[in-house]
Amino acid sequence: MEGICEKCGLPKNICVCTQITKEAQKIKVQVVKRMFGKYVTLVSGLENEQEAKNLAKQLKKKFACGGTQHGTSIELQGGHKDKVFGFLLKEGYKADQIDA
């Protein structure tokens, strides 16, 4: 037995808390030009730090770039705005949630 979710009280195999939190988020993706003409892609608006940490790890691995995670925001080295938008769609986020 997997246990019971602390938020909703349902068994974890039928819990929908993570899907509900994904639907309530408004994620902003933007590219910023930094010092020496370098571009950085910023992803902000995620709900919790653990989700941001996992997403940052997946994005860095997928796009073969460096980056970091500060709280609930992610910084990726390079201009990956369109790629991040597509990746978030594949992860289950809806297009109207993502402000790119």
Residue pLDDT, tens place only, 43-94: 999 888 988 999 999 999 999 999 999 999 999 999 999 999 999 999 888 8
Cα gap 40→78, rounded to integer Å = 5
- CB 63 within 8 Å of CB 88: no
Pairing label, strands 98-99, 39-44? unpaired
- Could you tell me the pTM of the whole model? 0.78
Return all residues near 70 (Cβ < 8 A) that are at least 6 apart: none
- Above 80 in pLDDT, residue 7? no
Pairing label, strands 98-99, 27-33? parallel
The full set of domains in the chain, from first to last, is: 26-99 (3.30.780.10)
User: What single DSSP character describes residue 37?
Assistant: G
